Amino acid sequence: MAPMPGTITGLEVLLADPPAWAGKAKIGLLSHPPAVDRRFIPSAELLGRLLGPRLRALFGPQHGFWGDKQDNMIESADADHPLTGLRVYSLYGAVRRPTPEMLEGLEVILVDLQDVGTRVYTFIQTLKLVMEACARAGIKVVVLDRPNPLGRAVEGNLLEPDCRSFVGLFELPMRHGLTVGEAARLLIHRGLDCDLEVVPMRGYDPLAGWEGTGLPWVMPSPNMPALETAKVYPGQVLWEGTKLSEGRGTTRPFEIWGAPFIRPHRLAARMADYDLPGVVLRPIFFEPTFHKHAGETCGGLFVHVTDRQAFRPYRTSLALLQAVAGLWPEEFAFREPPYEYETLRRPMDLILGRRNLADQVIQGRDLDELESGWAVGLERFKEEAGQCRIY
Length of the chain: 391
Q: How far apart are CA 362 and CA 62, in angstroms?
A: 31
Instruction: Report whether pLDDT(99) > 90.
Output: yes
Confidence of residue 3 (pLDDT cuts 50, 70, 90): very low
Domain that holds residue 325: 227-355
At 330, which CATH number? 3.90.1150.140
What pLDDT does residue 83 have? 85
Confidence of residue 309 (pLDDT cuts 50, 70, 90): very high
Per-residue pLDDT reduced to its tens digit, 221-235: 999 999 999 999 999
Confidence of residue 71 (pLDDT cuts 50, 70, 90): confident
At 95, which CATH number? 3.40.50.12170
Q: How far apart are CA 6 and CA 28, in angstroms?
A: 28
Same domain assignment for residues 80 and 16: yes
Same domain assignment for residues 154 and 259: no
338 prior amide bond cis, ω within 30: yes
The verdict on residue 373 lying in a domain is: no
Task: Look at the chain and report how many structural domains it folds into.
Answer: 2
Of 205, 220, 235, the last residue of a domain is: 220
Q: Which residues contact 127 (CB under 8 A, 6 or more apart)?
A: 111, 113, 143, 180, 183, 184, 187
The verdict on residue 361 lying in a domain is: no
Instruction: Report whether pLDDT(135) > 60.
Output: yes
The verdict on residue 4 lying in a domain is: no
Same domain assignment for residues 197 and 245: no
Q: Mean of the pLDDT values across residues 14-28?
A: 96
What pLDDT does residue 265 have? 98
Q: Please answer whether residues 63 and 28 qualify as being in contact, where contact means their C-beta atoms are separated by less than 8 angstroms.
A: no
Q: How far apart are CA 47 and CA 166, in angstroms?
A: 29
3-state DSSP helix/strand/coil % of the chain, to nearest 5: 35, 15, 50
The tally of CA atoms less than 13 A away on the side-chain side of residue 209 is 8
Per-residue pLDDT reduced to its tens digit, 315-331: 999 999 999 999 999 99
The verdict on residue 337 lying in a domain is: yes
Same domain assignment for residues 181 and 66: yes
Strand ranges across the sheet with 258-259: 258-259, 298-305, 279-286
Same domain assignment for residues 175 and 280: no
Same domain assignment for residues 148 and 278: no
Same domain assignment for residues 164 and 294: no
Same domain assignment for residues 160 and 178: yes
What pLDDT does residue 315 have? 98
Q: Mean of the pLDDT values across residues 60-66?
A: 93
Same domain assignment for residues 77 and 188: yes
Q: Can you give the pTM of this predicted structure?
A: 0.96
Instruction: Report whether pLDDT(251) > 70.
Output: yes
Instruction: Report whether pLDDT(5) > 70.
Output: no
Q: How far apart are CA 150 and CA 208, in angstroms?
A: 10
Q: How far apart are CA 72 and CA 60, in angstroms?
A: 15
Q: Mean of the pLDDT values across residues 240-252?
A: 98
The verdict on residue 131 lying in a domain is: yes
Q: Mean of the pLDDT values across residues 54-72?
A: 91
Same domain assignment for residues 19 and 57: yes
Same domain assignment for residues 85 and 215: yes
The verdict on residue 298 lying in a domain is: yes
In 3D space, the residue among 203, 178, 226 whose CA is nearest the CA of residue 9 turns out to be 203
Instruction: Report whether pLDDT(1) > 50.
Output: no
Q: How far apart are CA 320 and CA 312, in angstroms?
A: 12
Q: How far apart are CA 253 and CA 313, in angstroms?
A: 15
Of 220, 249, 270, the last residue of a domain is: 220
Same domain assignment for residues 31 and 72: yes
Quote the crossing angle between the two packed helices 375-386 and 180-189, to the nearest 10°.
100
